[in-house]
Structure 1
Amino acid sequence: MIPRLTLTARLTFLYTLVSAAVLLGLGVLVAWSTHLHFIDLDRDYLLDKVQLIQKIVDETPEPAELSAKLDESLNSHQGLFISLTRGDELLFGTGGITFPAELAGRSAADQPVDWAAGEGQLRGISTEISAAKMPGGATSPGPSLRLTLALDTQHHTHFMQMLRQQLAIYVVLATLLSGLLGWWAARSGLAPLRTMKERALRVTAHRLDQRMPIDAVPVEMAELANSLNTMLERLQQDFAKLMEFSSDIAHELRTPISNLLTQTQVSLSQHRDPDTYRDILASNAEEFQRLARMVSDMLFLAKTDHGIQLPNREDVALQDEVRSLLDFYDAVAEDKELRLRVVGAGTVVGDRLMIRRAISNLVSNALRHAHPRTDVELTVERQGDGTDLCVTNTGDPVDAVDLPRLFDRFYRVDKARAHPSSDGAGLGLAITKAIMLAHGGSVAVTSVAGRTQFCLHFVSQP
């Protein structure tokens, strides 16, 4: 199995590859440009000799004198080969080389031809020149003069070989140096990632307060660091809630279990009559029912943590559900001398049983905390983006500090459990919030001058 490369190795490899391609391209460009430059220099040199020979031909009408003048003018030019012919007659020649046939067929003198002659390299041109003053020249019958020149380019070839070798060595060394610099740059650039890695390794269940550095990292990594910090903050908050939740569960379960254990031990301490055992079993059954409701509520909340799906969706008339529940709570309200009132109407889309459970939790909570001989009012009202159902009661005011936490699990404003007759475990409002979130709505609470109001907001379905 091929091991995966580190990000530093990948960046170094890519940087080295790009550098090699750029350097290789630059080397080819330099070599080719130098080659073209030598061609231009040789062409200009040969064309200059063509003009010189043309001038000598114009000034020397006699062929016998022409060879001597050309030899005198051109004998100092090393590596220059000349052939001046008229038809098949050779008027002047140097070097004793053989010119290729394709060279004589070219009409453009500015396009040199390269060829090999033994171990040497030659570059030449061929052109026709005027011979008007010579016997048999352009003003008299007979062929014109054909001038063919060649230049030994062995020194150019040797220079180009040396240049290519030096460029190749330079490309290799520069590529290696670029790779080394690329590794250093990649390692230095990724140093903030290593810092973030070290911080992440220090994060444990007992050290969730670690945060990623933001000011000390580049802008591109600052967003990642900020996202990780946000995630760590959520984890820290959720972990704190989980620890608190676990502590609350242990506290809530300890009381009924202790009651059951105490009653059972007392009943077994001595022989009792059947009626006494029956009373003890009935009391134990009530504690078991309370435990069963608590476990059921905790299972429901656990499902909502993973995203609950509504079992059924249907149109629910809120005023009908409210009146149906009030028939059930009439006896409790009469016992506490409370008046129940329903105002307004509205229809929402959702699961009927879950909506009824949410309303029931609010009504039960209002009846529990309302002062005697006051009103508990349920209002259904259409809003711009949905429908609100509010439950209002008059009782002891709720401190502003406690309002945001009323929907936390096992949270009670009365830390001393001022309502021992209640069988609630502090999960009703948390379940109500979970039900509203499952419906895409929300729940809010306000408490002003002893009037506490819980509102369920249902968003209109498209």
Structure 2
Amino acid sequence: MNAANAAIRASTHSIARRLTLMFALAAAVVFSITGYALYQFQCVELRRHQLQEIKTRFEFVESLIVRRINTAEKWLLLEDKMTELTPQDGSIVYLVEGKDPAFRLGRPFAADARVSNEGNGVRRIVTENGTYLTLSREIPASGERPAVTLTVGLDASAFDTTSRAINAALVIAFLFGVVVVAGLGWWIARRGLLAVDDLSRHAENLSPLNLAERLPTGDMPSELNGLVLSFNGALGRVEQAYVQLSTFNADVAHELRTPLGNLIGQTQVMLSRERSVEELTEVLQSNLEELERLRTIINDMLFLAQADRGIRAANLEQTSIASEVLKSAEFLDMLIEDAGVSLAVEGDAEAGIDKSLFGRAITNLLYNAIQHCDRNSTIRVHIEERDHAVAINVSNQGVPVAPHHLERLFERFYRVDSSRTDSDNSHGLGLAIVKAIAHMHGGTVFAASNAEVTTIGFTVANGGTL
């Protein structure tokens, strides 16, 4: 049932069907306008021909009466002439009316005939025998002939029949044209959408087992190139995210496995035989350190998960950046002293920051610099204002970082030392947290390294503008 409904929806939303309907609608509009124009044109032309024929016949008879008919004897000759000119089917009628019965011609229209004026002396007269267009005019008296009124009538039935035939032909042509255009539109749409069908077949073959596979870009219509490139770009980002997620899962497993292995191993050893209170206390102390490390890793991962949801720093306070750096450095005095280095803070600026988050980011940067600096060197924290932001640079002298490592420093669990020799002291989330805190303050992170100095830092939006 669901499959049937899906098929119906797919048919209803078919692009080919929509294009066909649009072709048919466009053809209907064009043919309607064209047919209406042709209808109006034929009406005008038929009327012009009718009026032209009435006028020609009227002028001929009028000229004949005016020039030659001025006596009763000649009037009889006119009657014979009109009889010859009047068709047997009655499509043309001649009517002359006057006060003198001797100078009358033809049979008047029925008194109950419907008469309508159409201008310029032309009238439409509807009788039981048909519909006539008539032209009437008074002819002045001449000789024995008094003033008479000449009327020439033309049967409009033939023209009406022709008009109906033309209209029927236009309607048939309209319907036929719409059907033909709709059929051609369907064929054109299906031909034009073959590329889409091809893309659909390729998309069906995409599989998580082959993340490097992409939709083909060759021989694609220009209208689809942008879509294909965008989709391939999305696939690339999905592949990258999938690889990063796989790496992240492996790193998480590695980071959690080491302390858990230590806990299990030490506990098993202690349970293998009876131990003194001092030995048990020592092992519990060691286990507590491993548990603290596990808790730190889990808390850091939870923090990064919240940051990934787009959470912004909320408790913003406008404060001196240098003073906050110095406060954070106080907690690292012993580490700085043990490393045999000194700390220098240069410059200052004010910005709206969450002090707790900012202190965490600075602490992570300073801790990273202490781990990798040369003895008897100086760690420098340089603060400067940039366009709508404040930049905090932490620099240290030490082993330079290769360029291919710099762009990955802020990835989770990433270490320049692939052997993870410093796993006991760092779990590789410090710089990732710096990046998350920078984003929460509307800023960015950056890193640079040369033969002498490595600089890692971040920015926060100036004035707390996120």
TM normalised by structure 1 equals 0.90
Q: Which amino acid aligns with 1:452?
A: T
CA distance in 2, matches of 1:314, 1:14: 60
Q: Hey, what's the Cα distance between the residues in 1 that align with 2:387 and 2:351?
A: 14
Q: For 1:210-260, what per-residue CA distance to the aligned partner results, in whole angstroms no more than 9, with x for missing partners?
A: 434455444443333333222222212111111111111111111111111
Q: Within 5 Å, which residues of 2 pair with 1:330-369?
A: 330-369=333-372
* Alpha carbons 2:442, 2:461 under 8 Å: kept: yes
Once structures 1 and 2 are overlaid, which stretch shifts more, 256-265 or 29-38? 29-38
Shift of 1:134: 3.2
Match of 1:124 in 2: 134
1:113 paired with 2:124, answer yes
2:159 corresponds to: 156
Query: Quick check: 2:311–2:440 contact (8 Å CA) kept in 1?
Result: yes
When structure 1 is superposed on structure 2, of 92-101 and 170-179 the one drifting more is 92-101
**Alpha-carbon distance between aligned partners in 2 of 1:434 and 1:283, rounded to the nearest angstrom:** 31
1:388 aligns with 2:391: yes
Shift of 1:421: 4.8
- Bigger mean CA deviation after superposition, 242-251 or 168-177: 168-177
**What residue in structure 2 maps to residue 81 of structure 1?**
93
Partner SS, residue 315 of structure 1: strand
Change (3 A) 1:159 1:398: same
Aligned match of 1:436: 438
Deviation string, structure 1 residues 105-136 (Cα, Å, up to 9, x no partner): 88723x34252433x332222222233x2336
SS in 1 for 2:211: coil
Paired amino acid for 1:34 = Q
- Residue 42 of structure 1 corresponds to 50
1:63 aligns with 2:77: no
**Does the 8 A contact of 1:83 with 1:148 survive in 2?**
yes
Query: Which residue among 258, 261, 283 is the counterpart of 1:255?
Result: 258
Query: Hey, what does 1:140 align to over in structure 2?
Result: none
CA contact 2:347–2:384 (8 Å) conserved in 1: yes
Q: Does 1:31 align with 2:43?
A: no
Aligned pairs (5 A) from 1:377-416: 377-416=380-419
Gapped runs of 5+ residues in structure 1?
138-143
Question: Residue 232 of structure 1 aligns with which residue?
Answer: 235
The Cα of 1:384 is off from its aligned counterpart by: 4.4
Q: Does 1:205 align with 2:205?
A: no
2:171 maps to which of 129, 150, 168: 168
**How far has the Cα of 1:88 moved from its partner?**
6.9
Which of the numbers 280, 285, 290 marks the counterpart of 1:277? 280
Distance 1:147 1:57, change over 3 A: same
Question: What letter matches 2:229 in structure 1?
Answer: N
Output the CA distance in 1 between the equivalents of 2:383 and 2:32.
79
Residues in 2 aligned to 1:19 and 1:439: alpha-carbon distance in whole angstroms: 58
Give the Cα separation in 2 of the matches to 1:245 and 1:395: 28
Contact 1:214 1:226 (8 Å CA) reproduced: yes
Instruction: State the secondary structure of the residue aligned to 1:81.
Output: strand
CA distance in 1, matches of 2:386, 2:14: 57
Q: Is the 8 A contact 1:123 1:151 kept in 2?
A: yes
Bigger mean CA offset, 315-324 vs 60-69: 60-69
CA distance, structure 2, for counterparts of residue 314 and residue 230 of structure 1:
40
Distance in 2 (CA, whole Å) between partners of 1:35 and 1:441 is 76
For residues 297-316 of structure 1, the aligned pairs below 5 Å read 297-316=300-319
**In structure 1, the residue corresponding to 2:403 is in which secondary structure?**
coil
RMSD: 2.5
Structure 2 residue 195 is matched with structure 1 residue 184: no
Flag the 1:24–1:346 CA change in 2: closer, same or farther, 3 A: closer
Deviation, 1:73, is 5.5
Whichever residue aligns with residue 432 of structure 1, its letter is: V
CA shift in 2, pair 1:286/1:229, >3 Å: same
Identity %: 29
Partner of 1:93: 105
Alignment: residue pair count: 452
How far off its partner does 1:196 sit?
3.0
Q: Separation in 2 of the partners of 1:107 and 1:429? A: 95
Describe the shift of the 1:223–1:420 C-alpha distance in structure 2 as closer, same or farther (beyond 3 A): closer
State the secondary structure of the residue aligned to 1:414. coil
CA contact (8 A) 1:341 1:377 kept: yes
Query: What do the CA deviations read for 1:127-161 (whole angstroms, capped 9, x no partner)?
Result: 22233x23364xxxxxx321111112333233233
Which is worse superposed, 427-436 or 336-345?
336-345
Residue of structure 2 in register with 1:449 after alignment? 451
Any idea what the Cα deviations from partners look like across 1:277-304, whole Å, max 9, x if unmatched?
1111111111111111111111111112
SS of the residue aligned with 1:238?
A: helix
Q: State whether structure 2 residue 18 is matched by structure 1 residue 10.
A: yes
Per-residue CA deviations over 1:161-211 (Å, capped at 9, x if unaligned) read: 332332222222222212211212222233333333333333332333343
Match of 2:27 among 13, 19, 23: 19
TM-score between both structures, scaled by the size of structure 2: 0.89
2-structure distance, mates of 1:336, 1:240? 37
Task: Tell me what 2:322 maps to.
Answer: 319
> C-alpha distance in 2, partners of 1:156/1:105?
19
Letter aligned with residue 18 of structure 1: A
CA drift at 1:268: 1.4
Unaligned runs of 5+ in 2: none
Q: Are residues 1:241 and 2:244 paired? A: yes
Q: Please tell me whether the aligned partners of residues 103 and 126 of structure 1 are also in contact (alpha carbons under 8 angstroms).
A: no
1:328 aligns with 2:327: no
**In 2 relative to 1, CA 283–127 (structure 1 residues): closer, same or farther, beyond 3 Å?**
same
> Are the counterparts in 2 of residues 84 and 90 from structure 1 also a CA contact under 8 Å?
no
1:135 equivalent in alignment to 2:144: yes
Shift, 1:104, TM fit: 9.7
